[in-house]
Amino acid sequence: MSQAEAVRRVNPLWTLGLFRSELLTTFRRWRTLALLGVLAAVPVLVGIAVRIETGNGSSAGGGGGGGGPAFISQITNNGLFLVFTALAATLPFFLPMAIGVVAGDAVAGEANAGTLRYLLVAPAGRSRLLLTKYATVMTFCLVATLVVAVSALVTGALLFPLGDLTTISGTRISFSEGLARALLIALVVAVSLIGVAALGLFVSTLTNSGIAAMATTVGLLITVQIVDQIPQLHALHPYLFSHYWLSFADLMREPVYWDDLTKNLGLQALYAAVFGSAAWARFTAKDITA
């Protein structure tokens, strides 16, 4: 067997080992654990605040619209609505910021630590290494979203009653169906972050400073959010990766409204393709000195 054939046979197993190693490295970092801790704390704080407001005899929030405020007004009736409220509260900033930090550090952090060139000595190659990095970031997207959802579900069950719930359309569904929709919403929110993940990975290939890559990614995220709130720039809004993020609320309608959901998923796929390709083009041609 030639050396080239041996490398080809080792590559799949080596890639799985690399992916597992990347996951362990990412989730063992104190920074990652701190981010997950903050995300888990948000539903707890929201639940406690609503509970205190209820105890004081005040209304928990207003209805209408189908976004976070409409959900928060229902928490006292059904703790499952805390899941939807927590996701709506964390999606505009906390969740994408966490993704931006992890994605921005994916390549630049390795270069800054001087370990990137040692990873490239292994037979996986640059393309497979970059794909493994992106798969790790997408895994973090899913884990971070589930942390918010599970924390909200546990907090909601402890502080408020559970049972059948009323959709935004006014129809009643069973608790089991509501729980299934909550899981589907969490998955949609996780997928909604793949565009940010690809953008952060691309930025990470442009510099050898992990801090600079993380700051740039978070800065771009904030800028896009600001632009999305300026009425005079409404022509740009449908093309911004954050514009359809809260469309997950349409999964709580009966029947489900799919228009904005499909636009959101299509837009995320487009961002992932464009910035993923840009990251690949940059990384495969980059002169690795660290």
Residue 66: the pLDDT is 39
- Split at pLDDT 50, 70, 90, the class of 166 is confident
State the DSSP H helix or E strand holding residue 205, giving kind and residue range, or none if neither: none
Give the pLDDT confidence of 128-148 residue by residue, as tens digits. Answer: 888 989 999 999 999 999 999
| Angle made by CA atoms 12, 17, 20, in degrees to the nearest 5 | 130
Domain ranges in the chain?
3-285
Most confident of 51-55, 143-147, 168-172: 143-147
Residue 58 has pLDDT above 80, yes or no: no
Could you read off the pLDDT of 95-126 as tens digits, one per residue?
999 999 999 988 887 777 666 666 666 555 78
Q: Are 141 and 190 in contact (CB under 8 A)?
A: yes
d(CA 8, CA 123): 8
Residue 206 CB neighbour total at 10 angstroms: 17
Label residue 170 left, alpha or beta by phi (over 0 means left) and psi (-120 to 50 means alpha).
Answer: left
Whole-number pLDDT of residue 260: 92
What average pLDDT is seen over the chain?
85
C-alpha distances in Å from residue 105, one per residue of 15, 184, 200, 281: 20, 29, 8, 18
Q: What percent of the chain has pLDDT over 70?
A: 84
Question: Which residues, other chains included, contact 88 with Cβ-Cβ below 8 Å and sequence gap of 6+?
Answer: 67, 68, 71, 246, 249
Sort residue 269 into left (φ over 0), alpha (ψ -120 to 50) or beta.
Answer: alpha
- Phi and psi dihedrals of 166, rounded to 5? -100, 130
Give the residue from 205, 220, 19 showing the smallest Cα distance to 112.
Answer: 205
CA distance 281 to 130: 11
Encode pLDDT of 256-283 as tens digits: 889 999 999 999 999 999 999 999 998 8
| Residues facing residue 166 across a β-bridge | 172
Helix (H) or strand (E) holding 77: none
